[in-house]
């Protein structure tokens, strides 16, 4: 029996209540599907200890932490030194998620931009990748990332990328990565698939953003890391590659960007 290609879920939320009392089974199913590594992402810093504990308790699980833009108007502005201190942990591999979300939280845009600047500086100081959430904020997102990168380089992934081709090109021009989620498998996502297909293969990552956005054929269910394999199949078809080759390429990309979690 041919083993499943080794895949990385670069962004999930294993601390969310959706996985309560089921986490060992969720991780076991992921491994059975070929998902050998996962990054579980903390979105509110007061929850960092429990996210860290998940990473510490499971081989192949790493973590990142930051203040989600939708929380930036509610939580106190995080300090650079707080994020830098977290980076001392061997399983802490990324800064964020951070970014801009004007869909639900446009009234807090100034707080979001201030929080984003703090996260960017922490990414510079730690050399860890910045994890960006962008929704309905393409112009500001492109402008801020370009200006900040000119002021001092940093690495970055546009997590769960589903924005415009213009923002995608702006991110790629800065040397950043685009992460493909289950959204890319949806029937109405033809334009998004075109954006990914036009991107360099060496800048593509895979993720679930679970428990959200389950890919086809699991749409409507709770998402989980095992389903990264379904998004990988869509990506392989876009690039005209065997699944094993696409999985290997995206895993190598992950290793390059998330160097502390490199296999």
Handedness of CA 22, 25, 28, 34 (dihedral sign): negative
Contact of 233 with 243, CB cutoff 8 Å: yes
Task: State the residue for tokens 């200890």.
Answer: 49
**DSSP for 114-172?**
HHHHHHHHHHHHH-PPEEEEEES-HHHHHHHHHHHHHHS---EEETT--S-HHHHHHHH
Number of neighbours of residue 70 by Cβ within 10 angstroms: 18
Within 13 Å and on the Cβ side, how many CA atoms surround 114?
12
Distance of CA 200 to the CA centre of its chain: 18
13 annotated as belonging to a binding site for a ligand:
yes
CA dist 245 → 5, 30, 85, 232 (Å): 8, 19, 37, 10
Longest C-alpha distance within the chain, in Å? 55
* Residue 56 assigned to a binding site: no
Q: Is 89 annotated as a binding residue?
A: no
**Residue 97 in marked binding region:** yes
Q: Which residues are annotated as a binding site for a divalent metal cation?
A: 11, 13, 97, 133, 159, 209
Q: Which residues are annotated as a binding site?
A: 11, 13, 97, 133, 159, 209
């Amino acid at each position: 029996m041919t083993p499943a290609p080794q895949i990385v879920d670069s962004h999930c939320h294993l601390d969310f209540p959706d996985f309560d009392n089921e986490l060992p089974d969720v991780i076991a199913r992921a491994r059975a599907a070929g998902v050998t590594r996962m990054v579980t992402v903390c979105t509110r810093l007061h929850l960092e200890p429990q996210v860290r504990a998940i990473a510490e308790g499971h081989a192949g699980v790493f973590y990142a932490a930051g203040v989600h833009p939708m929380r930036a108007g509610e939580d106190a502005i995080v300090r650079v030194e707080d994020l830098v201190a977290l980076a001392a942990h061997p399983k802490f591999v990324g800064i964020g998620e951070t970014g801009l979300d004007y869909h639900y939280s446009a009234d807090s845009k100034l707080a979001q931009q201030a929080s984003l600047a703090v996260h960017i500086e922490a990414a510079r100081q730690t050399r860890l990748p910045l994890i960006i959430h962008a929704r309905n904020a393409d112009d500001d997102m492109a402008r801020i990332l370009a200006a900040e990168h000119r002021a001092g380089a940093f690495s970055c992934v546009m997590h769960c990328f589903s924005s415009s081709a213009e923002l995608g090109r702006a991110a790629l021009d800065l040397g950043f990565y685009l992460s493909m989620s289950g959204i890319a498998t949806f029937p109405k996502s033809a334009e998004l698939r075109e954006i990914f297909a036009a991107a360099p293969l060496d800048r593509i990552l895979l993720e679930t953003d679970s428990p959200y956005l389950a890919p086809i054929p699991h749409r409507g269910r709770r998402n989980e890391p095992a389903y990264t394999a379904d998004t990988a199949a869509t990506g392989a078809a876009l690039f005209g590659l065997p699944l094993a080759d696409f999985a290997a390429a995206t895993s190598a990309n992950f290793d390059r960007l998330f160097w502390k979690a490199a296999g």
